[in-house]
Structure 1
């Protein structure tokens, strides 16, 4: 299951007037859109639905559920909805919360006493609340890939696996999407309800909503779609992680879920949740999280402005894609499912193109900047060498790092061969200038860089308009003499991911002239240059917040003849 992260181009801000919806034209243009995208994006099969005024006004299948056998994709075709499963898990947690069987504000260890991951200075597992796990702000790493398929693993393995990892950050400090965290919630549901997670979801959500064609891989559901990518049919991949991405549904059932939530929000009679509880789930929960990329409710991403809001989740598993966008105040929703990896972008674009119809825009997803007001670039100030030196060092990005040094009265930021001069506007705010030619400085319009201390971490943040991009925190130089013994190429062996670009080939350790420990991680489809933050002599974390392969525990072991690297549960040997 791929971690779905929401990074979009900067959209202009400002109020958006809700557009009137011509239902007939809306349906017609939607059908035309998908017919065109099926051909242009090489999508094998797709189904979509529109809900207006609480009623399903359109649902339709396109293409094939099984291209080879010419079986059409219809609203009865079952597809893995991937991470939209998390909304079911969050709903189950809130059912138990409203019944008084658990309190989401209590520590996770209250309900999972065996939860005891490793933690560095200033980080405590005891401060991780159930709510912080629901909102992806717990500091638990995003994935553990050991035995990640249903044949070799199960969701109840996850607590022991997590206990072998380090927490990444203090709870509540950073938003980091965590499949592992949601599988811990599946174990909480099992512990509190005394029902297996899958049984609980069937009994308390699927059955009450009459979603009789939905369930899990273990249910041997009929009418399951094949999955496709790059023009090929791939064998089905069933996830161990059923609490974060294991639900399958057809479009007929999926619309029952969406309309059930819309009814509950409006206080209409429904069998799943109280209106007050759902209102809490659909309210902003992470406004006080300093390093964050998206507004979130409880189990949902949120588009929110001063006038209205929408809640959204996407799913991706084994190349299948699903998107669910709800407009609770407008009693409307759109749903798209596809069996093709290339169909995900068309599905997302369709959903987000509808935001202006309901008074929203993509930029309403992003949190307000934490860096405050910006100074005019004419406000260049002089700082002492000591003040500038506080910011010197290397800062890890997702797939590279930047090194900041003091030069004359400015800071010099270097990433590979690209150099940017940072002129101080205050002790922590800097205007960037690119070097053009030999010595000409060109100001980068509308951009700033900020250095800020957050709970003992010294962060570098890029500000572009009203968007902020966290570039990572200051790394400590490593002991080269220790890590020099470990550099080299390690080949993957043992358990292997079974599908997609996440199949691993090798990992290569090397040390840069800036004394940054790096790993070159190769999969079947990509090469990733990842900075490592050293924790102790045998452990490191892959750096980079909310991106790619950032935020994983890396463990080093050796015997007399061989050296080993474990990256998020996948082993490599030299």
Structure 2
């Protein structure tokens, strides 16, 4: 899945990248829940599941206001957004001081029949389901049925993806799945609708793939990983995931209007995109995006989590466990884009914190922001693809009210602090040569060359001169004709992690990953694989995400490239060849980065698989 992110603004997370939970409507519009940076423009594409936001860092309120003022402004905000953003229907709620002070529906649940959207309208909450899955796992740990620090194979011995040197299987713990740091690829699109597949099928698909990274190296948002957690819950409890959630969460909290597609819930909304009603699409991946609820139950869930954290109720979870879920768990992950607890994304500074998750499925959106120390929450559900931005902006505009701001989401940099410009140093060509090569991002790559005893970085038609200030840190200079102009607030830093050399761009207190060193390939081995592969077999059933073809070619810099095309758009990505039959789409935390590409020979065709979808070309 790709998630929706921020483009050319302060980013937030979204793979989330997605108008549809992980199933892009088209490749050009898609942005991931994992942020990527354009080296030359400074633009951000993120994805944890977050959407482009028009301006953060300031509250809409110059002075603290009463709840009456907050309610009035919230109602005006949504009434305006219904018109300006062409949203058919939404519902929203505000919790303050442990009480629901406001909840209301706007627009229509069914535009044709003029059925109003109310707090009783049921909506698919998409990836917010992951917070329920993480909660279920933590309940099992409370009961002594598992330990999240232990390898996943302790409880799920049928987990056996392909292995290669430097990526030990035992490093994949239950916790790494919860925090999206397991190295399991993001999605498997084959049989991804509920009519074609079951959530337990995902494990078998993943067992045919390589882990993308060693566990603990990088944050890679993974729907597949959360469906494997659903499988884990089933095997440990001998209870299907659906029944487990009903018994141990919905029933405990009294969420009587919540469930899954197979539950036949009443009052479900119609769904909309581009001004038209869209077809329903039930996801196979119920443990990562399958829960439906209305605003009444959604607020009940938010209150239940707040009460557990504050020790006001332990029916759902013990206070210590809830506080563990709401404590940052990924501070030691070197390639991260967002602070995370267990199952939640996290805004955190020295004074306070908030927990957040967003979801999108079948064009609906759900947003849930919890501020535990203030016993407060903001919640939005919408039935329209275009409604995600308004919903998220509503939540994030209120962060300053609680002493938070957007940058509190970003992790502490792992490279050293960049201060005032340092004196340049001289490095031997032998040292500089160790950095020469291709550094692959999700949709492009950077070429680092050694010319006249200095490193040159080229991306397309743009060029930077890199002048060393230490053995691993370089000051970048823009080339303007015969002149070079230093970017004094920036550094480019080469860093070796788990056997790979990564290139970072450090700007003040932010790290941006610019890709990792790509192993050279033998073009002769891949020459007979080049060409156009036409899609065949299972096709995505949702929106306009109809994949048409995949083209394998070699770039002018001898980089193996894949061009993936839908009916009206395309995306190009460098490939990291593992062996003659497997490659990985490149890039860290962004775009289509981190997907297995599998090549097979058949009597009449050569086949290529991408995220489980199949393409072929004649011999």
Q: Normalising to structure 1: TM-score of the pair? A: 0.97
SS of residue in 2 equivalent to 1:571: strand
How far 1:390 sits from its partner (Å)? 0.9
SS of residue in 2 equivalent to 1:314: strand
Partner residue in 2 for 1:28: 72
Whether the 8 Å CA contact 1:18–1:357 is kept in 2: the answer is no
**C-alpha offsets along residues 77-119 of structure 1, whole Å, 9 cap, x if unaligned?**
1110000000000000000101101111111001111100012
SS of residue in 2 equivalent to 1:155: coil
* 1:232 to 1:28, Cα distance in 2 relative to 1, 3 A: same
- Give the Cα–Cα distance (whole angstroms) in 1 for the partners of residues 365 and 187 of structure 2: 19
Partner residue in 2 for 1:401: 445
Whether the 8 Å CA contact 1:19–1:358 is kept in 2: the answer is no
Partner residue in 2 for 1:235: 279
Whether the 8 Å CA contact 1:11–1:362 is kept in 2: the answer is no
**C-alpha offsets along residues 105-143 of structure 1, whole Å, 9 cap, x if unaligned?**
111001111100012210011221101110111111110
How far 1:561 sits from its partner (Å)? 2.6
How far 1:455 sits from its partner (Å)? 1.2
* 1:233 to 1:312, Cα distance in 2 relative to 1, 3 A: same
- Give the Cα–Cα distance (whole angstroms) in 1 for the partners of residues 53 and 100 of structure 2: 31
Q: For 1:493, which of 527, 530, 536 is the aligned residue?
A: 536
Whether the 8 Å CA contact 1:66–1:225 is kept in 2: the answer is yes
How far 1:443 sits from its partner (Å)? 2.3
Partner residue in 1 for 2:549: 506
Matches within 5 A, 1:130-169: 130-169=174-213
Whether the 8 Å CA contact 1:10–1:363 is kept in 2: the answer is no
- Give the Cα–Cα distance (whole angstroms) in 2 for the partners of residues 551 and 237 of structure 1: 25
* 1:23 to 1:81, Cα distance in 2 relative to 1, 3 A: same
* 1:248 to 1:13, Cα distance in 2 relative to 1, 3 A: closer
- Give the Cα–Cα distance (whole angstroms) in 2 for the partners of residues 376 and 392 of structure 1: 27
Whether the 8 Å CA contact 2:122–2:266 is kept in 1: the answer is yes
Whether the 8 Å CA contact 1:501–1:526 is kept in 2: the answer is no
Q: For 1:90, which of 134, 141, 144 is the aligned residue?
A: 134
Whether the 8 Å CA contact 1:18–1:359 is kept in 2: the answer is no
How far 1:375 sits from its partner (Å)? 5.1
Q: For 1:49, which of 93, 100, 104 is the aligned residue?
A: 93
Whether the 8 Å CA contact 2:505–2:513 is kept in 1: the answer is yes
Matches within 5 A, 1:158-557: 158-374=202-418, 376-436=420-480, 438-524=481-567, 526-557=569-600
* 1:533 to 1:11, Cα distance in 2 relative to 1, 3 A: farther
Whether the 8 Å CA contact 2:160–2:207 is kept in 1: the answer is yes
Whether the 8 Å CA contact 1:51–1:334 is kept in 2: the answer is yes
Whether the 8 Å CA contact 1:18–1:356 is kept in 2: the answer is no
How far 1:481 sits from its partner (Å)? 0.5
Number of aligned positions between the proteins? 571
**C-alpha offsets along residues 339-385 of structure 1, whole Å, 9 cap, x if unaligned?**
11111111111111111000011100111111112253352211111
SS of residue in 1 equivalent to 2:335: coil
Whether the 8 Å CA contact 2:56–2:406 is kept in 1: the answer is no
Whether the 8 Å CA contact 1:375–1:425 is kept in 2: the answer is no
- Give the Cα–Cα distance (whole angstroms) in 1 for the partners of residues 603 and 461 of structure 2: 40
* 1:261 to 1:525, Cα distance in 2 relative to 1, 3 A: farther
* 1:28 to 1:475, Cα distance in 2 relative to 1, 3 A: same
Whether the 8 Å CA contact 1:282–1:297 is kept in 2: the answer is yes
- Give the Cα–Cα distance (whole angstroms) in 1 for the partners of residues 334 and 62 of structure 2: 31
**C-alpha offsets along residues 416-450 of structure 1, whole Å, 9 cap, x if unaligned?**
111111111111111112222x2222223422211
How far 1:10 sits from its partner (Å)? 13
**C-alpha offsets along residues 434-477 of structure 1, whole Å, 9 cap, x if unaligned?**
222x2222223422211000110100011122111111210011
Whether the 8 Å CA contact 2:192–2:285 is kept in 1: the answer is yes
How far 1:271 sits from its partner (Å)? 1.9
How far 1:18 sits from its partner (Å)? 12
SS of residue in 2 equivalent to 1:173: coil
Partner residue in 2 for 1:565: 608
- Give the Cα–Cα distance (whole angstroms) in 1 for the partners of residues 568 and 471 of structure 2: 43
- Give the Cα–Cα distance (whole angstroms) in 2 for the partners of residues 479 and 57 of structure 1: 64
* 1:18 to 1:307, Cα distance in 2 relative to 1, 3 A: farther
CA RMSD in angstroms, aligned pairs only: 1.8
Partner residue in 1 for 2:112: 68
Whether the 8 Å CA contact 1:19–1:356 is kept in 2: the answer is no
- Give the Cα–Cα distance (whole angstroms) in 2 for the partners of residues 568 and 350 of structure 1: 34
* 1:250 to 1:524, Cα distance in 2 relative to 1, 3 A: farther
- Give the Cα–Cα distance (whole angstroms) in 2 for the partners of residues 429 and 524 of structure 1: 44
How far 1:19 sits from its partner (Å)? 6.8
- Give the Cα–Cα distance (whole angstroms) in 1 for the partners of residues 57 and 125 of structure 2: 32
* 1:554 to 1:138, Cα distance in 2 relative to 1, 3 A: same
Partner residue in 1 for 2:42: none
How far 1:44 sits from its partner (Å)? 1.1
